[in-house]
Amino acid sequence: MPRAVNGNGKKHATQQSVDAAIWSICDIMRRGNVASALQYVPELTWILFLRILDETEDREEQEADAVGASYASSLKKPYRWKDWAAPLESAKVKPNKRKELDDAGNKAFMNFVNGDLIPCLKKLKDRPNATPRQKVISEIMSGVEKTRIDTEKNLLDVLDKVHEITNESIDDTHVFALSQIYEGLLLKMGEKGSDAGQFFTPREVIRAMVRAIAPTIGETVYDPCCGTGGFLAQAAEYMKPKIGAKISGPAVARFRQETFWGREKENLIYPIGLANLILHGIDRPNIWHGNALTEDEVYGGLFAGAPKQFDVILTNPPFGGKESAAAQTNFDYRTSATQVLFLQHVIRALKTNGGRCGMVIDEGVLFRTNEDAFVKTKRKLTDECDLWCILSLPGGVFSAAGAGVKTNLLFFTKGKPTEKIWYYDLSDVKVGKKTPLTLTHFEDFAAKLAAREDSDRSWTLDLLARKAKAAADAQPFRDTARAKSQEAERAKDRLGELKKAKRRDQPAIAETETEISSLLKDAREATNKAEDIDNAVYDLKAVNPNRKTDVDRRTPTELLDLIDAKGREMAGAIARLRALTDTS
């Protein structure tokens, strides 16, 4: 029997109305055995995507009809949303697949979704001459074997609710776009206790980074570990207002189809990233599915035509990961540290003259100078790029995502070496779940960034001067190492002569060998001291020289008087308690 649903296309005029609609869907999913955000967000992803796709293609078809152009939908009957998912009262297609399945009963609807619809959508990319959009559809469905929702009733309830909250039903003069509401769901995936936290960067951090890098129309934007697509989506939102009357039609098409590029290896997260970018108006999300470090590809069909280097890179690589030897072979400086390999990848992927990057990096990468790959990677960064800013973030920024590690933001431009680094310090800001980092915290940073102003929170490091001082400090040790090595060579010559003598002077030989060993040890120690001094140049940790510390200036006598006063106060309180006890 046809189900009674609200198919009136009601307008959501308030943010609370939209939020309530979204969470009512999640409530149905939880009722339908889809318990956590890690489960219901992927499920809602493909359902919401198919609804938005149907709405988008209806609009495109109407636009094509208006100018007399032909139009081919990505999906044919009965696989369009309007055929199988739209509530019967809203269905505009006759005959209607949903009605047919409803009349058939006996789990016909679930059998169609799991046995016909999902397999068909997953195979679209394998068709000859598959369109880019058909490839996107297949990839969004790539991790879906069947619906996670347990019963037909619960699934139909979800479909009816999703049908009501399309972009057309949201009053954008009063509430956020659907894309921003979807970001709220992704935030749930990123909360502490969820395995998906590693793929989620706080949105205010992303927005601050995008504003600092300021991508422009015509530039390519890349994220080599894009997760749910937050950096690419926010870059798109930043760039959209710059599309005006002076921007040509082909330029607008390039913006929507050839601007945003990414890589992601996790099977669960990859389709969510694709859907997120679609919801942000990116017609062609060019995301490569595979391991960016090993270059092992799962699916690269959406990455066809990718440039070798990019104008802008915005990224938050995983920190604390350990990479295999196979991953390390692709890099100049081998290490198991994931974030260091990604830093090398980013330097390589930036356009040589003027490519810009904003990158989250953990504190350890900045201060570690005891591992060769860390030092050489930072030397490469500062030799080939202008590292113009390091922003020190508070320690709790990523705690909501289950990571308490201290982090920094790096901003650099490829094409010339670093001379000076401007630092900005937010490390003293207290953040938590109820007091998150907001854009307000970045306002002073943004105001001072252009002129690189020094203040209580900001200062400038002259890297050239630091290098020059290190070279001068290391030179005496290098001179010593050279002298000791030369002495050792002369001793080796003497040793050779002693060993050639007809009568071997064994004590002299032993003494000379000991001398050589001592000289070489001294040379090594001097060389190591010189290298330590050189390597210390690349301890780039943000240590604020302007931070004022609270100093207790009370004298010992004043402190003793305070202790005495508190003692008398406590004694009086105890006396009163005793009096009360005696009375009772």
pLDDT at 1 over 60: no
- Is 70 exceeded by the pLDDT of residue 349? yes
**What is the torsion angle, in degrees rounded to the nearest 10, for the CA atoms of residue 409, residue 413, residue 414 and residue 419?**
-90
With contact defined as beta carbons under 8 Å apart, do 515 and 494 qualify? no
Measured CA distances, 453 to 72, 198, 209, 448, 450 (Å): 56, 34, 18, 5, 8
The one-letter amino acid code at 476 reads P
550: tokens are: 């609270």
Burial class for 573, CB neighbours closer than 10 Å (0-12, 13-18, 19+): exposed
- Tokens matching residue 503: 């009568």
The mean pLDDT value of the chain amounts to 87
Which of 45, 43, 44, 163 has its CA nearest to residue 98? 163
Mean predicted confidence (pLDDT) in 129-157: 92
The whole-angstrom separation of Cα 119 and Cα 112 is: 10
**Continuous H helices in 295-337:** 325-328
Cα three-residue angle 129-143-271, rounded to 5 degrees: 70
Q: What is the 3-state secondary structure (H, E, C) of 470-499?
A: HHHHHHHHHHHHHHHHHHHHHHHHHHHHHH
Q: Which amino acid is at 194?
A: S
Percent of the chain with pLDDT over 70: 88
548 Rama sector, left if φ>0, alpha if ψ -120 to 50, beta otherwise: beta
Predicted confidence at residue 40, as pLDDT, reads 79
Burial label for 99, CB within 10 Å (0-12, 13-18, 19+), is: middle
Are 343 and 365 a contacting pair, CB within 8 Å?
A: yes
The predicted pLDDT at position 193 comes to: 47
* 424-439: pLDDT as tens digits: 999 999 887 778 888 8
Q: How far apart are CA 419 and CA 463, in angstroms?
A: 5
- For 232, what's the count of Cα atoms within 13 Å in the CB-facing half-sphere? 36
CA distance 91 to 30: 27
Residue 176 has pLDDT above 80, yes or no: no
State the average pLDDT over residues 454-465.
96
Q: Pull the structure tokens for residue 107.
A: 């789990």
Residues in the chain: 584
Answer yes or no: are the C-beta atoms of 477 and 533 closer than 8 Å.
Answer: yes
Residue 15: per-residue pLDDT: 55
pLDDT tens digit sequence for 385-398: 999 999 999 987 87
Q: What is the pLDDT of residues 35-66, one digit of tens each?
A: 777 777 888 889 988 998 898 888 889 988 99
Sheet strand arrangement including 312-315 = 296-299, 286-291, 260-264, 221-223, 312-315, 356-362, 407-414, 385-392, 420-425, 458-462
- The whole-number pLDDT of residue 531 equals 95
Q: Three-state SS string across 1-70, please? A: CCCCCCCCCCCECCHHHHHHHHHHHHHHHHHCCCCCHHHHHHHHHHHHHHHHHHHHHHHHHHHHHHCCCC
pLDDT in tens, 466-519: 999 999 999 999 999 999 999 999 999 999 999 998 888 999 999 999 999 999
Taking residues 548-553, what's their average pLDDT?
Answer: 74
* Residue 141 contacts residue 271 (beta carbons within 8 Å): yes
* Separation of alpha carbons 62 and 347, rounded Å: 45
Tokens of 142: 């790539």
Q: Is the peptide bond before 224 cis (omega within 30 degrees of 0)?
A: no
Asked which of 20-29, 119-128, 261-270, 570-579 is least confident by mean pLDDT, the reply is 20-29
Domain range summary for the chain, segments of one domain joined by +: 1-175, 471-536, 550-584
Share of the chain above pLDDT 90, in %: 58
Indicate the range of 17-21, 59-63, 268-272, 324-328 predicted with least confidence.
17-21
Buried b / exposed e along 70-85 (16+ C-beta atoms within 10 A): eeeebbeebbbbbbbb
Nearest to 117 by CA among 46, 216, 26, 200: 46
Quick check: bond before 394 cis, omega within 30?
no
Q: Are 303 and 285 in contact (CB under 8 A)?
A: no
Provide the token pair at 196: 């998906």
- Are the beta carbons of 285 and 140 closer than 8 angstroms? no
**Architecture of the 1-175 domain:** Up-down Bundle (1.20)
The predicted structure's pLDDT at residue 93: 67
